[in-house]
């Protein structure tokens, strides 16, 4: 009986020591990732080096995910463990050291990932655009890692493998936060791996997706605004016409973002770069259109006769690039693209008519609103 008590005391003392060492290492990893995250800044004018991008996606990031899985399994899976505390400690320390090495390697690797170039004004450059987005993805990863090791350090004394607290007394919220942080970080790693493996055209399509989502939100807002003016038919008509314009814009952008878009994906890089530049003003144009319609009602001096001009110019320029490119194709290729070209021509005619009608009803509503204000 005395031997059993002595053994229990030895294990408790030894376990507390192991817990302190592992916790100190987790806290150190948190400080390091916090430092790396705070120092990681998007510099711009950078292109990724394809050779190093491949190594990042196939070696460094998968290794990091494996390290996190191993840490989570060793440090926080407390059920049905058969290993002795010293065995667990050696495994935990080994996993922590390997994770630390991977993080240091990833930080050092960042400097070789980029090719810096002098800025070129008005350059149509999709690789430069992609480089900037890749920097943001990496910055997000460092933020995720910082959060993960903060949660690990906070959770380990409560529900770690060497915890002296009965698992039944641990707040379930602590477990949920721990699982959420691990899941979020691993998801971020896989998202970055997929991002690095994307074609340039897929990257371009990704940049268009928020425009489609924004258009849907603007349509909801315009519908609410239209319903607000039930007693003023001219304003309702303006908002209805604006809704048509935004719907046509959304149809166009959905066509560009369609998965497996063979016609657009086969365009050469210079045409993709031209599309990047042509579509860049669309989001701001959409925002200004919605704002113009509401602003002048309360502030007539802010009336703009052509509120959709920035949006229309951007969409027409984009459509022209597509029409010109497909119009230059010859032979069998031209026949294949006939329906594609025809659909864009039809859309352009509908869009032009909807813009003209919007300007007419917008002017009419403004004049009626001004007349009402005078009485």
Segment 49-90, tens digit of pLDDT: 777 888 999 999 999 999 999 999 999 876 656 777 888 899
Residue 139 belongs to domain with CATH number: 1.20.1420
Domain check: are 263 and 127 in the same one?
A: no
- For residue 48, report the phi and psi dihedrals to the nearest 5 degrees: -80, 145
Which of 110-114, 193-197, 243-247 is predicted least confidently? 110-114
Clarify whether residues 43 and 163 are in a common domain.
yes
Among residues 197, 230, 249, the one where a domain terminates is: 197
Verify that 212 and 80 share a domain, yes or no. no
Average model confidence (pLDDT) for the chain? 85
CA 334, CA 196: separation in Å to the nearest integer? 33
How much of the chain is helix, strand and coil, in % rounded to 5?
80, 0, 15
Quick one: 220 and 265 in the same domain? Answer: yes
CA nearest neighbour of 125 among 273, 303, 293, 234: 273
- Domain count along the chain: 2
Verify that 161 and 241 share a domain, yes or no: no
Same domain, 53 and 146: yes
Q: What confidence category does residue 3 fall into, taking pLDDT thresholds of 50, 70 and 90?
A: very low
Last residue of a domain, one of 154, 179, 197: 197
Which residue segment(s) compose the domain that 57 sits in? Answer: 2-197
Largest CA distance in the chain: 101
Asked if residue 145 has pLDDT above 50, the reply is yes
Say if residue 334's pLDDT is above 80: no
Query: Which has the minimum average pLDDT: 44-53, 94-103, 151-160, 192-201?
Result: 44-53
CATH of the domain at 331: 1.20.58
Same domain, 157 and 190: yes
Mark whether 231 and 219 lie in a shared domain: yes
**Do 108 and 169 reside in the same domain of the chain?**
yes
- The reply to whether 156 and 105 lie within a common domain is yes
What tokens does 7 get?
Answer: 């053994």
Q: Based on the domain organization, do 275 and 186 belong to the same domain?
A: no
Among residues 108, 96, 132, 131, the alpha carbon closest in space to that of 23 is found at 96
Among the listed residues 297, 292, 208, the one whose alpha carbon sits nearest the alpha carbon of residue 253 = 208
| Residues 63 and 39 placed together within one structural domain of the fold | yes
Q: Which of 166, 197, 228 is where one domain is finished? A: 197
């Amino acid at each position: 009986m005395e031997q059993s008590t002595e053994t229990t005391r030895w294990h408790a003392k030894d376990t507390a020591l192991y817990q302190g060492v592992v916790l100190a290492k987790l806290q150190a990893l948190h400080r390091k990732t916090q430092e790396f995250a705070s120092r990681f800044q998007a510099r711009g004018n950078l292109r990724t080096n394809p050779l190093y991008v491949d190594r990042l996606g196939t070696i460094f990031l998968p290794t990091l995910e494996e390290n996190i899985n191993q840490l989570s399994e060793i440090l926080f899976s407390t059920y049905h463990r058969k290993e002795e505390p010293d065995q667990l400690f050696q495994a935990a320390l080994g996993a922590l050291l390997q994770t630390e090495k991977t993080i240091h390697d990833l930080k050092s690797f960042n400097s070789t990932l980029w090719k810096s170039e002098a800025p070129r004004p008005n350059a149509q450059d999709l690789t430069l655009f992609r480089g900037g987005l890749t920097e943001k993805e990496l910055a997000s990863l460092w933020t995720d890692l910082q959060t993960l090791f903060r949660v690990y350090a906070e959770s380990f004394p409560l529900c770690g493998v060497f915890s002296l607290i009965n698992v039944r007394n641990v707040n379930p919220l602590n477990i949920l936060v721990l699982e959420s942080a691990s899941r979020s970080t691993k998801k971020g790693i896989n998202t970055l791996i997929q991002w690095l493996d994307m074609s340039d055209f897929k990257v371009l399509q990704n940049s268009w997706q928020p425009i489609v989502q924004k258009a849907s939100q603007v349509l909801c807002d315009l519908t609410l605004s239209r319903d607000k003016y039930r007693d003023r038919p001219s304003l309702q008509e303006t908002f209805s016409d604006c809704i048509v314009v935004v719907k046509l814009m959304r149809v166009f952008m959905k066509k560009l973002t369609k998965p497996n878009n063979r016609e657009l994906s086969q365009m050469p890089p210079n045409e993709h770069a031209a599309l990047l530049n042509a579509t860049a003003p669309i989001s701001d144009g959409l925002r200004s259109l919605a704002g113009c319609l509401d602003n002048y009602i309360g502030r007539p001096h802010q009336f703009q006769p052509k509120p959709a001009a920035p949006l229309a110019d951007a969409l027409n320029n984009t459509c022209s690039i597509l029409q010109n490119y497909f119009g230059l194709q010859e032979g069998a290729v031209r026949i294949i693209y006939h329906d594609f070209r025809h659909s864009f021509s039809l859309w352009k005619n509908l869009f032009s008519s909807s813009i003209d009608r919007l300007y007419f009803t917008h002017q009419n509503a403004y004049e009626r609103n001004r007349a009402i204000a005078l009485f």
